[in-house]
Every structure is written in structure tokens, then in C-alpha cells.
């Protein structure tokens, strides 16, 4: 079959990446979708079982830091679009292993950019998916795309550094990059280290929700399908060289989030909700909130369509219906896989 477009998604077996890949495969049968993923602990092949047999889907088990693999992909696949989501994202882990975050988030982005820029036919769009955490915690302001970057933890610092790399390819080569900065994204299939699935997993195991610290920390939560819609809109209507915030007006304190999930999962009286909360020591550095403005994206026609009530209902139901999704996950074995790219994976350098 002749495909009209080839799209490379890095980190396509992760939470957001798998939703993006499924949307692309299902809605664009005339596009070839390539998923490059090293199946790290928080990524699962099970997230893509529904599309594994589709003719317009290709999985490549590999490391975004493997320059030989990336050169091979771009020299043979005529990639038109890159969505770069591959990253290490757990903030607490970034304090414990900052070098691994530097390797994947910064060096991996550099390798990918180099390979894409050197390709015989350069991609017409390179979309880098960043985070609202690059702004640092709000000091009363609401961040727009021109706000200064003040990352306060190693994860956010590596995302900000990767953004600078991406931007440098636009400044020097006019390489057609676009950067997005998202609020907290939630929904089905998110790994259990993130706050919503962590609380849900604890409650399903009859344990208390462990709320970190006593500061009034709150977050803006965006349902995953709305995030995917934003990325696809930016692909079609976004302007090369620009940055787009992807956010929501819905904000909730983390302690209140825990209380709401207790009521939904345990169905206890309000007077007993706090019995299911346990306050534990905070992580080394915490930002209270990340409010962002999204007028630039809204001018392209984007609006968040899924309300918090509907999004959290869908999320809770999914975790109730799939209690063993992560505990039962399995990784691919490249020795037994017909994947022609297996010779390149895994890369340990």
C-alpha cells in the first residue's frame, strides 16, 4: 500500500504516546505510523494491542539515543512528521538519577534532531512535546509562551534544555520545529507512579492515599484525548518556530483530588473520607501550581472538550476494569520478534 504520509512517534508506547499513536492509526489509514520505543518500565506493548495488526502501524524497539538506528530510520523511511514524546518524566526520580534524565531527555533529543536534519528528505514538521514545569512554580503570574523558563527540578531542567536545542535548529537552519507545553495530562493507561493512578491503585489495594507534604499544592489536569487533539491541530495549523501552551482552566488541590477519588472508589460518607488520607514527607522541591494561558492554541480552533467530571469518571472506570494492567505487563523479546529493526535494540551506550 502506498501511504500519503509517514509519521514517526518517539515514546509511542507510553501513556500520552500510545493515545496519540492509536488516534493516528485509526483516523488516518492512509498514513504510515512508526512507533519508536524502548519499552521502559512505564511503557507497555499492551497499550497498543488494539492496533498491532493494522497495516499502517510499525513498531520499532529502540533507543532514541541510538544515532545509528535514527540515521537508518530517516534514511529509509521518508519521515514527513516527527512527534517527539520519548522522555523520562518522574520528577522524584530525576533527583536520584539526573544523569539518566540528561541522557534521554537532552542527548536523545539532540540525536533525533541531528538525524532528522541530516535526512535525505527532511520532515516538514518536528513537534517537541514539553511540559508546563519548564516555567517553574507560579509566583502569582499566569504563564504564556513568552514567560521566562525557571525550572526547579532536574526533570524540568532537562525539558527546558531540550527545548533550547529544538529551538536552535529553527534559529540556525529554519528546521520546522514546534514546541508544546502541556498541563498535567491524565486518563486510562497512565503508569501508576503519577498522582491519579497512584491514588487509584492504593485505594484498590485498600491502602490510604499518600499525600506528599502539607503545602497547598494544586495542579491543572487535562484529559488525554484533549491533549492528543491539540497535538494533531498543531501539526496541521501550527506555525513553524512557535510554542503553544496546552492547558485547561480546571485546577484542583492534590489533597482535594485524593478526597474526591476516595469518595468515588470507596463510596464512604464524607465524614470518613479523611480516614483514607495519609500525609507523608514532601519531595525535595515542589512547585505549588503551574497556571498557563492557551490563547495561541485556542486561536487555531482548539478547546478542551472533556470535562473533569467525565474525564475522571472514565479514568476511574478504566482502572477498576483493568486492575492488573501494569502488574501483568510483558516486554517484547527482540530475539523472538520478526521486527527487522531488532538488530539495533536495545542501545546501552
> Which are the catalytic amino acids?
132-133, 155
Report the distance separating Cα 86 and Cα 49, nearest Å: 19
- If one counts every other C-beta atom within 10 angstroms of the C-beta of residue 280, the result is 11
Q: Are 38 and 318 in contact (CB under 8 A)?
A: no
Cell numbers at 206, concatenated:
485498600
The candidate with the shortest Cα–Cα distance to 122, out of 172, 174, 86, is 174
Q: Using omega within 30 degrees of 0 as the cis cutoff, is the peptide bond preceding 346 cis?
A: yes
Q: Are 118 and 72 in contact (CB under 8 A)?
A: no
Rounded alpha-carbon distances, angstroms, from residue 70 to 42, 75, 191? 22, 8, 27
For the sheet with 81-84, list strands across it: 57-61, 31-37, 5-10, 81-84, 125-131, 177-182, 243-246
H/E run at residue 30: none
Exposed, middle or buried: residue 228 (CB in 10 Å: 0-12, 13-18, 19+)? buried
- If one counts every other C-beta atom within 10 angstroms of the C-beta of residue 113, the result is 23
Amino acid at each position: 500500500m502506498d501511504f500519503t504520509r509517514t509519521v514517526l512517534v518517539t515514546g509511542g508506547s507510553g501513556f500520552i504516546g500510545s493515545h496519540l499513536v492509536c488516534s493516528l492509526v485509526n483516523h488516518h489509514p492512509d498514513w504510515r505510523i512508526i512507533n519508536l520505543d524502548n519499552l521502559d518500565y512505564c511503557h507497555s506493548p499492551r497499550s497498543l494491542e488494539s492496533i498491532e495488526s493494522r497495516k499502517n502501524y510499525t513498531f520499532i524497539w529502540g533507543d532514541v539515543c541510538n544515532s545509528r538506528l535514527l540515521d537508518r530510520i530517516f534514511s529509509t523511511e521518508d519521515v514527513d512528521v516527527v512527534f517527539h514524546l520519548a522522555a523520562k518524566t518522574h520528577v522524584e526520580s530525576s533527583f536520584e538519577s539526573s544523569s539518566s534524565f540528561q541522557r534521554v531527555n537532552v542527548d536523545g533529543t539532540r540525536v533525533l534532531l541531528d538525524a532528522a536534519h541530516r535526512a535525505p528528505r527532511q520532515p516538514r514538521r518536528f513537534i517537541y512535546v514539553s511540559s508546563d514545569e519548564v516555567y517553574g512554580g507560579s509566583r502569582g503570574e499566569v504563564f504564556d509562551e513568552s514567560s521566562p523558563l525557571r525550572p526547579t527540578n532536574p526533570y524540568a531542567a532537562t525539558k527546558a534544555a531540550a527545548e533550547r536545542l529544538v529551538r536552535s535548529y529553527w534559529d540556525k537552519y529554519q528546521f520546522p520545529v514546534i514546541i508544546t507545553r502541556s498541563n498535567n495530562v491524565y486518563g486510562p493507561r497512565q503508569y501508576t507512579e503519577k498522582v491519579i493512578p497512584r491514588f487509584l491503585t492504593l485505594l484498590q489495594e485498600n491502602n490510604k492515599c499518600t499525600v506528599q507534604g502539607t503545602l497547598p499544592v494544586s495542579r491543572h489536569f487535562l484529559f488525554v484525548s484533549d491533549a492528543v487533539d491539540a497535538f494533531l491541530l498543531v501539526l496541521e495549523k501550527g506555525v513553524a518556530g512557535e510554542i503553544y501552551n496546552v492547558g485547561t482552566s480546571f485546577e484542583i488541590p492534590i489533597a482535594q483530588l485524593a478526597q474526591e477519588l476516595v469518595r468515588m472508589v470507596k463510596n464512604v460518607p464524607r465524614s470518613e473520607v479523611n480516614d483514607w488520607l495519609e500525609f507523608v514527607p514532601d519531595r525535595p522541591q515542589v512547585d505549588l501550581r503551574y497556571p498557563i494561558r492557551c490563547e495561541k492554541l485556542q486561536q487555531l480552533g482548539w478547546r478542551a472538550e472533556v470535562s473533569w467530571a467525565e474525564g475522571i469518571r472514565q479514568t476511574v472506570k478504566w482502572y477498576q476494569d483493568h486492575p492488573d494492567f501494569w502488574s501483568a505487563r510483558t516486554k517484547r523479546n527482540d530475539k523472538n520478534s520478526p521486527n527487522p529493526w531488532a538488530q539495533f535494540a536495545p542501545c546501552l551506550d
